[in-house]
Structure 1
């Protein structure tokens, strides 16, 4: 496995997590300069594009918040503080996940080329990751024949219902 692939093992993702600094500004600097996150997954024949720092930092932080039920408390706090430092991060109250739970919808402004807004939903009391909601702000049209494939107002949601730390692959918590 190439360490620059985005297909890291859970142990490799955990190692990357554990080497992140707990100072929010240093955390953002580490994420935006880490070659792994800059290059991401590589697919043969697909041109390499570099994601802007703010979008990459937001995505990496949400990746860790959504996939790690436990992380060092100081690092978790740094991640929330780092989110607040990213230009364009917005929060809306009352955004619902697929289970109907209402939370804080965190999203990144400035991705106007997409016809939708993707919220990462956090519990308003604990900030635990609940899920996502995608809301189409305008019709999304097919590139091939201009037909509407997702009309304005379409909502797609996902909910994280539980997570557990297990001892081996395939074990359920």
Structure 2
């Protein structure tokens, strides 16, 4: 799978630089349980995916929009909260973000992919935005979920509804506590994610190219 992303402008700030693009190649097992990435030195790093729902979990009949939401919701409910989970993120937002992650980083059967797209309008709070643009400059339509602090977009082609990429932007100022009693405020209107999926092909093993 080949993706273009906007890199972070300056760590540890969450803002991405929309004037720059980095192209990454990743490999994903067909069951959705492993992923591989070049470490930048020519070595493949293979890691498990999870916890959470995978493409294998979504392929069992019935493959319907309602069932996709049910299975993803059940996975979210069954996953213990971690130190990184934030209380302001609603269950609906988690379902939306999980679908975004599945579409952008999992090999999905055609019926499961179609069911996920059809599930998006069923999520309370999801809106449709015209004129969305992915990190490769392609124009499309976006499914949008606006949470307490961030707006997330899943961008699809207006012609054939294939997945194009994602976009995320802060929608409210947010102040974080830092060690030593200091604080840091992330302002509203900052882009925090911008991606484009350029290609997805089936190959025989991690590291192989079509």
TM-score with structure 1 length normalisation? 0.71
- Aligned ranges for residues 146-157 of structure 1 at < 5 Å? 146-149=183-186, 151-155=187-191, 156-157=193-194
Report the counterpart of residue 118 of structure 2 in structure 1. 81
Report the counterpart of residue 20 of structure 2 in structure 1. none
Q: Comparing both chains, which one has the higher relative contact order based on Cα–Cα distances under 8 Å and sequence gaps of 6 or more?
A: 2
What SS does structure 1 have at the residue aligned with 2:129? strand
CA-to-aligned-CA distance 1:29-69 (integer Å, 9 cap, x gap): 222223xx4344876xx387787442232233222222346
Report the counterpart of residue 4 of structure 1 in structure 2. none
Alpha-carbon distance in structure 1 between the residues aligned to 2:85 and 2:167: 28
Greater per-residue strand proportion: 2
Residues 1:26 and 1:154: Cα distance change in structure 2 (over 3 Å): closer
- Aligned ranges for residues 15-164 of structure 1 at < 5 Å? 15-19=56-60, 21-34=62-75, 37-40=76-79, 46=83, 52-68=90-106, 71-73=109-111, 75-109=112-146, 111-112=147-148, 114=149, 116-144=150-178, 145-149=182-186, 151-155=187-191, 156-164=193-201
CA-to-aligned-CA distance 1:95-131 (integer Å, 9 cap, x gap): 211111112122223x21x2x3121211111222211
Greater per-residue helix proportion: 1
Residues 1:29 and 1:153: Cα distance change in structure 2 (over 3 Å): closer
What SS does structure 2 have at the residue aligned with 1:166? coil
Unaligned stretches of 5+ in structure 1? 1-6
Residues 1:85 and 1:130: Cα distance change in structure 2 (over 3 Å): same
What SS does structure 2 have at the residue aligned with 1:161? strand
Residues 1:41 and 1:122: Cα distance change in structure 2 (over 3 Å): farther
Q: How far apart are residue 23 of structure 1 and its match?
A: 2.3
Contact 1:38 1:56 (8 Å CA) reproduced: no
Contact 1:24 1:82 (8 Å CA) reproduced: yes
What SS does structure 2 have at the residue aligned with 1:157? strand
What SS does structure 2 have at the residue aligned with 1:152? coil
TM-score with structure 2 length normalisation? 0.61
Residues 1:47 and 1:152: Cα distance change in structure 2 (over 3 Å): closer
Contact 1:69 1:164 (8 Å CA) reproduced: no
How many pairs are equivalent? 158
Q: CA RMSD in A?
A: 3.2
Q: How far apart are residue 168 of structure 1 and its match?
A: 0.4
